[in-house]
């Protein structure tokens, strides 16, 4: 396992959180008459929606430095690594220059990183360490699918840490079973399964999983995989609960299996909605999505735009700058 460079990762997470927090600050700054002047329109060529998002990101990051405005944003490279796409932008400000790399978006000073490749290598290293660390925890979004299930699962892990003899390992099995049941109970009580004619019994994990899997993904093999890991994890937990010869390793195997079953379910569920990204009606590119900007008269406009071909829907006014 790759060791996390704790301080670096923490700094990165802080910066990311700060960027999110800054969106609020930025809106407040715009509302402040001292910052009221809307950003100038670029004149050389219009920016794409992707470039606009990056400009807005850098502006949010440097909200405390109003004398260093963004002057240009240019997409310089696009890399695909481990199934994830990363774009590298060259961002020139009045007094500074940055590489901004997406997914997760972060910025690197060009004083420290001379070339885009240097910055990208560093960025990837950082991302790998973050992903590695994330394996022991779960995203808040995923956890929210069933908070109860995660708490029960954490109980099982805790019980595992204190376990000394067979009965202790059996009680780990009890908690793992409860974790899986909690998720099924939470999910079966939600409106998304209101249309099911015959509802299986609450404890019928296998039939419920069949129903959930059908709702989560249209991909047959993924459904089969999800059902199968749930069945196996369930069988291991139930067996552990009654296993009079249980040793630490038996509990370990069951804990890992349930972790994987819960996590896979949760990620498949939260991912399922996000895959339905709209395609550009003109060129079918998926680099199409919503974007916003300030208009000439300080009004907030929003529209959808394609960063591949430039196609844009008509802008709608969604707000107005305070005091204008």
Q: Which residues of 180-201 are buried (b: 16+ CB within 10 A; e: fewer)?
A: bbbbbbebbeeeeeeeeeeebe
Q: For residues 40 and 37, give the distance between their C-alpha atoms in angstroms, rounded to a whole number.
A: 8
Q: Which of 9, 311, 312, 315 binds Zn ion (CB under 5 A)?
A: 311
Kindly indicate which of the ranges 7-15, 45-53, 249-257, 301-309 contains the residues binding Zn ion, using the contact rule CB under 5 A.
Answer: 301-309
Q: Which long-range contacts (CB under 8 A, 24 or more apart) does 278-285 make?
A: 278/304, 280/306, 280/308, 280/309, 280/311, 281/311, 282/306, 282/309, 282/311, 283/308, 283/309, 283/311, 285/309
DSSP SS3 for 76: strand
Cβ distance to Zn ion smaller for residue 53 or 180? 53
Kindly indicate which of the ranges 27-35, 197-205, 232-240, 309-317 contains the residues binding Zn ion, using the contact rule CB under 5 A.
Answer: 309-317
Q: State the number of binding residues for Zn ion (CB under 5 A).
A: 8
Q: Rule CB under 5 A: is residue 280 a binding residue for Zn ion?
A: yes
Q: How far is the CB of 78 from Zn ion (least distance, A)?
A: 16
Kindly indicate which of the ranges 20-28, 175-183, 200-208, 305-313 contains the residues binding Zn ion, using the contact rule CB under 5 A.
Answer: 305-313
Q: Rule CB under 5 A: is residue 309 a binding residue for Zn ion?
A: yes
Q: For residues 319 and 324, give the distance between their C-alpha atoms in angstroms, rounded to a whole number.
A: 11
Tokens of 40: 């100038």
Q: Rule CB under 5 A: is residue 308 a binding residue for Zn ion?
A: yes
Q: Rule CB under 5 A: is residue 282 a binding residue for Zn ion?
A: yes
Kindly indicate which of the ranges 26-34, 97-105, 260-268, 299-307 contains the residues binding Zn ion, using the contact rule CB under 5 A.
Answer: 299-307
Cβ distance to Zn ion smaller for residue 69 or 289? 289
Q: Rule CB under 5 A: is residue 283 a binding residue for Zn ion?
A: yes
Rule CB under 5 A: which residues touch Zn ion? 280, 282-283, 285, 306, 308-309, 311
């Amino acid at each position: 396992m790759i060791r996390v460079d704790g301080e670096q990762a923490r700094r990165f997470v802080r910066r990311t959180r700060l960027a999110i927090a800054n969106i609020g600050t930025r809106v407040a700054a715009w509302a402040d008459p001292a910052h009221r002047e809307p950003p100038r329109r670029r004149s050389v060529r219009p920016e794409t929606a992707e470039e606009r998002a990056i400009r807005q990101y850098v502006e949010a990051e440097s909200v405390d430095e109003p004398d260093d405005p963004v002057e240009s944003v240019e997409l310089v490279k696009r890399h695909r690594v481990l199934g994830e796409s990363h774009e590298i932008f060259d961002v020139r400000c009045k007094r500074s220059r940055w590489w901004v790399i997406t997914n997760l978006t972060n910025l690197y000073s060009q004083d420290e990183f001379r070339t885009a490749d240097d910055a990208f290598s560093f960025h990837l290293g950082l991302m790998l360490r973050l992903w590695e660390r994330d394996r022991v925890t779960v995203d808040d979004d995923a956890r929210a699918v069933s908070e109860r299930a995660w708490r029960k699962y954490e109980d099982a892990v805790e019980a595992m840490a204190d376990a000394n003899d067979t009965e202790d390992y059996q009680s780990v099995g009890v908690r793992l079973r409860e974790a899986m049941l909690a998720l099924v109970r939470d999910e079966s009580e939600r409106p998304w399964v209101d249309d099911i004619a015959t509802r299986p019994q609450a404890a019928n994990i296998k039939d419920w999983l069949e129903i959930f899997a059908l709702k989560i993904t249209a991909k047959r093999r993924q459904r089969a995989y999800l059902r199968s890991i749930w069945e196996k994890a369930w069988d291991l937990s139930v067996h552990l609960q009654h296993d009079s010869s249980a040793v630490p390793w038996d509990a370990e195997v069951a804990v890992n299996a349930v972790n994987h079953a819960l996590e896979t379910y949760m990620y498949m569920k939260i991912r399922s909605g996000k895959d339905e990204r709209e395609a550009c009606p003109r060129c079918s590119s998926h680099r199409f999505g919503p974007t916003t900007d300030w208009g000439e008269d300080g009004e907030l406009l929003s529209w959808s735009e394609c960063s591949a071909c430039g196609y844009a829907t008509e802008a709608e006014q969604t707000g107005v700058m305070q005091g204008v």
